[in-house]
Amino acid sequence: MSPRESIPAVPHVAIIPDGNGRWARQRGLPRNLGHRRGCEVVRKIVRAARSLGVRQLTLYAFSMENWARPREEVDAIMSLLDSYLKRETDELVERGVRVSAIGRLHLLERDVQDALRELERRTEANAEMRLTFALSYGGRSEITDAVRKLAREVEAGRVDPDAIDEKRVRAALYDPELPDPDLLIRTGGEHRISNFLLWQMAYTELWTTDTLWPDFSETDLRRAFEFYGSRERRFGRTGDQAPRRGEA
Ligand code: FPP
C-alpha cells in the first residue's frame, strides 16, 4: 500500500497555526524569526496536504485580533506574507493549487492586496487543491459583514426578510463556495476555535497538538488525518442515520 492509500482522505482541512512566538522565545530569538519559520512550514504543509489528496486547505494566517499586536510585529508578518505570496507564485501555479483569501482584505496593506490579487489571478484555472488564506479575518466579522449585506438587500427591497434562510446567509459570507471544513487542526496546545470560521465549523472534527507551528511536520499532519479517519461523523443524527463519509 502506498503511504497515500493508508491515510484517510480529508477533503477540507482548516488550520490554526499557533505557537510561532513561543517557538522563538524558547530559543531566545525575536518573535519575528518564529513567524519566518512559520512561513516555511506553511510552504511545506501546503505541499504535503496536496500530496495527501486534500482538496481544500484553509489557513488562519492573520486574525482581526492580530491587528492589536505591536506595530513592528504586524509589519513583520505583513512583509513575510507579501514575500511568501510573491515567492510561491510559480510553484503554486505549477502544482495546480488555486489560491484565494477571505477576510476584511481592504484593511491589508496595498502591496499585500495587490500580491493576493495577482496570485488569485494566476492560479484561478488550477484545480488540484484550493488554498484559502484567512487574513484580517474573524468569524464574527464575517457574520457581521454578511448580516450587513443582507440588510442592504432587504432595504433595497430585493430580499424579503422571511426568505432569509441558511442558504442565503451562506451566500453572503466572504466565500460562499468555501465548503465546511471536515477537520480543524490547531497547533500550540490551545483547545479553542479563536473566532475562526464560526459559521462553517458547525460539524468540524477538532484535532489539537502541543507541537508549536514551526515544528509541525508532515508526520503530524498524517497523525491528524488518522484521527479524522477514526471519527464517526453523525452531523446531529443517530449512528444509524448518519451519512457515510463523503456524503455530507
Ligand atoms: C501564530 O503564532 C501566528 C500568527 C498569529 C501569525 C503569523 C502566521 C504565520 C507566519 C503563518 C502564516 C502564513 C503566512 C504565509 C504568513 P503566535 O504568534 O500567536 O504564537 P504564540 O501563541 O506562541 O505567541
Is 104 domain-assigned? yes
Is 62 domain-assigned? yes
- Domain of residue 54 covers 8-138+180-241
Note the pLDDT of residue 133.
98
pLDDT tens for the chain, 248 residues long, are 445 557 889 999 999 999 999 999 999 999 999 999 999 999 999 999 999 999 999 999 999 999 999 999 999 999 999 999 999 999 999 999 999 999 999 999 999 999 999 999 999 999 999 999 999 999 999 999 999 999 999 999 999 999 999 999 999 999 999 999 999 999 999 999 999 999 999 999 999 999 999 999 999 999 999 999 998 877 788 777 665 554 44
Note the pLDDT of residue 58.
98
Q: Is 22 in the pocket of ligand 1 (CB under 6 A)?
A: yes
Is 30 domain-assigned? yes
> How close is the Cα of 197 to the center of ligand 1, in Å?
17
Is 147 domain-assigned? no
CA distance 61 to 57: 12
CATH of the domain at 201: 3.40.1180.10
Ranges of H-type helices in the chain: 20-26, 31-51, 71-87, 89-94, 110-123, 139-155, 166-171, 218-230
Is 167 domain-assigned? no
Note the pLDDT of residue 180.
98
Note the pLDDT of residue 1.
40
User: Could you identify the atom of ligand 1 that is nearest to the CA of residue 190?
Assistant: 22
Note the pLDDT of residue 2.
45
> How close is the Cα of 155 to the center of ligand 1, in Å?
40
Q: Is 138 in the pocket of ligand 1 (CB under 6 A)?
A: no
Note the pLDDT of residue 234.
76
Compute how many other C-beta atoms are within 10 angstroms of the C-beta atom of residue 219.
9
Q: How far is CA 126 from CA 92, 94, 98, 122, 123, in A?
A: 9, 9, 5, 9, 5
Is 174 domain-assigned? no
Q: How far is CA 235 from CA 168, 232, 242, in A?
A: 21, 9, 7
CB 74 within 8 A of CB 112: no
Is 69 domain-assigned? yes
Note the pLDDT of residue 8.
87
CA distance 240 to 149: 39
Instruction: DSSP for 112-162, please give it.
Output: HHHHHHHHHHHHTT--SEEEEEEEEE-HHHHHHHHHHHHHHHHHTTSS-GG
Q: pTM for the complete prediction? A: 0.93
CA distance 96 to 122: 11
Compute how many other C-beta atoms are within 10 angstroms of the C-beta atom of residue 232.
7
Is 202 domain-assigned? yes
> How close is the Cα of 185 to the center of ligand 1, in Å?
14
- Number of separate domains in the chain: 1
Q: Is 61 in the pocket of ligand 1 (CB under 6 A)?
A: yes
Catalytic center residues: 18, 66
> Which residues are CB-contacts of 177 (< 8 A; sequence separation ≥ 6)?
none
Q: Which three cell numbers stand for residue 127?
A: 484545480
